[in-house]
Structure 1
Amino acid sequence: MEENFAANFGGAILAGGQSERMGFNKALLEIDGEPLIAKVARVLNEAGVGNFQIVGGDSATFTSLGYSCLSDEYPGEGPLGGIITALNYFKSQGKKHVLIVACDLPNISKNFINEMFLKSIEEPESILVPVVEEHLQWMHALWPTDVLPVLLKSFSSSNRAPWRATEDLQILKIEGADPHVLFDIDEPDDLTRILQSGASWKEDSTES
């Protein structure tokens, strides 16, 4: 894919989760010597998305690492608040689509991101969401910024789940997505699976 095509898309990395099940900031968890959030940011850059923001989380630390950050407009309200924050920002920047991903994707793939960008040409008004074992992967989705008013209306009605907030919107399900690419680290057992694959890890020590 040509880099100037990917430049039409904004990118957002959601880092506002509390990481309660992990017991530390998983965005800074080092896998094979690289913090998770740095891996995600690097792959976005490799996919041509140089214009991305980290939404929520420890903005002081992320800024010190050289990343641009957005304060979550709805802290503590779940990922939908971060999604709305990102869409609002990039809509103001004139972007038509925003790739929104979680900060805890150790196997995130440049090729899969580019495949999503190409699919968006066919259905530019749809939200593109990968599907793994019949579950929609909202934390690796491509969003048209034009859906923002619908999301805001749903959010104001106390809906916090992306699937519920998008019930009246067009969704293009990307079937057959590779579970390995979309694997996320939510709890200690997930980290164990990564280690069993031969990876090494180091807990974030910035809070000690």
Structure 2
Amino acid sequence: MDRSASSLRCMGAVLAGGASARMGTDKAFIEIEGAPMVARAVGALRAAGAAPVLVVGGDRSRLSALGLDHVPDRHPGQGPLGGVITALDALDPLGGSGPDAVVTLPCDVKAPDPTSVRLVMERLAGAAGHSEAGPPADLVVPLGGGVPQWTHSGWHRSCLPRLSEAFATGVRALNEAARQLRTVEVEVPGTSWFADADRPEDLPPTTLDSGHTEEAACKTPTSRR
């Protein structure tokens, strides 16, 4: 049954399948302001209204210790496209009453912002007017400084067949896989919402690997505006 744009619901997915080679340790569990980066990303998605929120890929045991829901990456080591496909595929078991779309964040964003996530979700809802041909837009990509931030995007379930087809032909870059999708871009103010940490020098001076500590699991991620 079709839904109005105002009732469009989004699942959240944190992409955590990367190797963290340049960081030298699993980025997802590096603490910033007392909480692992992966938990901060999950918190931002929840605060924006995404539900449920899953972590795609990563260390299941460590994620479980933090109380986070996890789904294995169906295409490990194949980049964020595999993670997005995994997240979209996870919509199907939720049934017709579940979410219509997925909004993603990378696990290594330093200051995840619910406001920027909410802008993407609202724009996707506005683009999801219904007709027999489906929604007029499959994908909403936020622009940070005029540059598309693909891993922060909103993906309607209608994206899955074309993304899967592109993946099967050897495409791994999100922008290439999305060429056949009906895409809307939305400018999001500021730069902190998409700044990530690839190397140790990208991190604030006081950070550490959270390990399995229960204290880290109880920290509440803070938002940025």
Deviation of 1:134 after TM superposition, in Å, equals: 3.7
How far residue 174 of structure 1 moved from its aligned partner, in angstroms, is: 1.5
Among 114, 126, 143, the residue aligned to 1:110: 114
| Pair 91,178 (structure 1): closer, same or farther in 2 beyond 3 Å | farther
Q: Is the 8 A contact 1:7 1:48 kept in 2?
A: no
What does 1:1-208 correspond to in 2, within 5 Å?
8-93=9-94, 94-124=98-128, 125-191=137-203, 194-195=204-205, 200-205=206-211
Cα RMSD, aligned residues only: 1.8
Decide whether aligned partners of structure 1 residues 62 and 7 sit closer, same or farther in structure 2, where only a CA change above 3 A counts.
Answer: farther
The alignment covers a number of residue pairs equal to 196
Paired AA for residue 203 in structure 1: D
SS of the residue aligned with 2:167? helix
Q: Which amino acid aligns with 2:160?
A: L
SS at match of 1:167: helix
Please report how far the alpha carbon of residue 159 of structure 1 lies from its aligned counterpart in structure 2 after TM superposition: 0.3
Q: CA deviation at 1:8?
A: 1.7
Aligned CA distance change for structure 1 residues 7 and 150 (closer, same or farther; 3 Å): closer
Are the aligned partners of 2:8 and 2:99 in contact in 1 as well (CA < 8 Å)? no
Q: Which amino acid aligns with 2:21?
A: E
TM normalised by structure 2 equals 0.81
Instruction: Tell me if the contact between 2:8 and 2:100 (Cα under 8 Å) persists in the aligned partners.
Output: no
**Per-residue CA shift, 1:73-99, capped at 9, x if unaligned?**
111111101110000111332421100
Name the SS for the 1:75 alignment partner: coil
Name the CA shift for 1:160/1:171 in 2 (closer, same or farther; >3 Å).
same
> Identity over aligned residues, as a percent?
32
1:8–1:96 Cα contact (<8 Å) kept: yes
> Displacement of 1:48 after TM fit?
2.1
- Structure 2 contact 145–190 (Cα < 8 Å) conserved: no
Any idea what SS the aligned residue of 1:105 has? coil
- The answer as to whether partners of 1:6 and 1:47 remain within 8 angstroms in 2 is no
CA distance in 1, matches of 2:7, 2:17: 25
Distance 1:52 1:12, change over 3 A: same
